[in-house]
A = this chain, B = another copy of it.
Amino acid sequence: MDWRALAKQKRESTIAQIPKEWVLPTIPPPAEQRDISGVWMHQYLTPEEIEITSSDAEKVVELASAGRWKAVDIASAFCHRAAIAHQVLNCLHEFFPQQALEAARALDEHLTSTGKPKGVLHGLPVSLKDQFHVKGVETTMGYLGWIGTFEGKKGTGKERVHESLMVKDLKDLGAVLYCKTAVPSTLMSGETVNNIIDYCWNSANRNLSSGGSSGGEGALIGAGGSVVGFGTDIGGSIRIPAAFNGLYGLRPSSGRLPYEGMANSMDGQNSILSVVGPLSSTPGGLKLVTKALLGMQPWSYDPMVVELPWREEVGEQVSRRATEDGGLTFAIFWDDGEIRPYPSVRRALEKVKAEIEKKGHQVIEWSPPKSIGAISDIAMGVFMSDGGVDAYNAFALAHEEPAPQLAPIVPTTPRTQATASEVAAMNVTIRELRKELMDYWNSTVSLTKNGRPIDAIISPVSPYPAARREMYTHYAYTSWVNALDWTTVVIPVLRTDKAVDVVDPSFTPRSEAEKLEFENYDLDMYDGAKVGVQLVGRRLQEEKMIEIAAQVSRWVKSASE
């Protein structure tokens, strides 16, 4: 079959899972309905569905566990809203409401018969990036050549049977799985594009990208079709969609959450590891699922996970410092020296800084001994080390052509690979980099008023408040974090406002690249785009960074109200 026909067939098979009564009669063009992250979708939902899908993850679990909401109603409401989101945004690869409703009914029976919830995520619908294997469901990761196979291999006996470890854990915890969300083929893009769904659009501004590579998650949660889901991040893939869709997103350090049994690109490349982590509409959602998963002791089942249970006391220390005990200290940087952030991104950074300072906490400048660009370049070198052969092979399976954004990642013939010695040399470079930046972090002790090193770094996520199609070209603002393996949480801050976020007339581009990026800044098109920033912490500081995100977010929000 021609790859285009195969793509169409797969695309239609997902749509076919949507019950007829949920199919939209017409889909308004972006010019008519730019933003579907708010109340627009309510017209298609019952009051009960609106109430359920407007709740946060903690409330859903609380009411489901108490039996006040039926799991099956919760599942149905989120399935409905997800189905609408997909029709407008192309955010799903797989949709399995029947399986979800069955699982939800079983949870309701469990609660009725035992009087107890199944687990700490009882009744919570959780969306998953299409790298997770779920029993009964296909995994394509956007590759046509993966259709009907297990990760591109035929006849393994694992097709639609094998399940990722975290999927099993989520089910055991009482979560309800109902969809797998769109990714760009290769996973190495800030735009979610592939030959199956074409393009996944932003939930808050349909002129723009949902981000990537966990772009389907970002769009879906942004549109209210999920309250919490899981993505992965090797260069920004959780943080970019979180920021672009006005969400919270946790990029844990590697070894904290279980990746075991998931599909991946360049599997086994372990110089800079892809990590799995949650996106959510609230910081509480991040905490709920992260704590729940660590409660399953994943280090007993995933050899890559470190035995580090959830440390509540680490978060409590942040809460104390938020109001006493010398306060919190942040370092901020505004610009990576290459591409300055667009005005609304700059305004978001300024707002976060101002609100932190208003609460009496200190914000110093982050001036590391290596530039963000230089740090990011080290990560890029790792991602290129296989000469593109992994991406090349995956595209070759179905002889499909990459979208223009992916063409630079998918070579027409693979380039020369790095040798084992060259890989080792990269690993030494990464280790030395991490040591150098760790030492710099420690050295901030001499710059803070409380005599402690800083608690977190405030950083842009991207130069753009979401990118325009085919225009995501600059990754340094996220990939520097991956090179260091630092724990990071994205928080939403504001929306782009065309009345405010104009480029300063005195702005002079420092380079041809920066000139081009600012030429792409079409203010009308960007109006309403959401903007987030990232709060970067040390390695394996998930408890701390989630709590810092919650605190900072509270300060920023209370200022907006």
Contacts and interface: CB of A to CB of B under 8 A. Distances in A.
Contact of A420 (B300, B385, B434): B385
Interface stretch (A33-41, A191-199, A422-430, A519-527): A422-430
A148 interface: no
Contacts of A267: 424, 428
Contacts of A421: 386, 389-390, 417
B434 A268 contact: no
A434 B386 contact: no
A270 B268 contact: no
Given A301-B438, A435-B302, A427 B308 contact: no
Interface in A392-438: 417-428, 431, 434-435, 438
A326 interface: no
A442 interface: yes
Contact of A303 (B270, B299, B389, B438): B438
Contact of A306 (B306, B427, B428): B306
Contact of A417 (B269, B271, B304, B419): B419
A307 to B, nearest CB: 5
A266 interface: yes
Copy tally for this chain in the complex stands at: 2
Given A385-B420, A390-B421, A423-B268, A539 B431 contact: no
Nearest to A432: B303
A427 B268 contact: yes
Interface string A535-557: 00001100000000000000000
B420 A270 contact: no
A189 to B, nearest CB: 20
B435 A303 contact: yes
B387 A306 contact: no
A540 B306 contact: yes
A62 interface: no
A19 to B, nearest CB: 39
A169 interface: no
B423 A303 contact: no
Contacts of A423: 268, 420, 423
6 contacts: A260-B435, A268-B428, A269-B420, A270-B270, A270-B271, A303-B485
By Cβ-Cβ distance, the 9 closest A-B pairs, closest first, are A268-B424, A303-B434, A268-B427, A268-B428, A417-B419, A385-B420, A418-B420, A417-B420, A386-B420
Interface of A: 255, 260, 266-271, 299-304, 306-308, 385-387, 389-390, 417-428, 431, 434-435, 438-439, 442, 485, 539-540
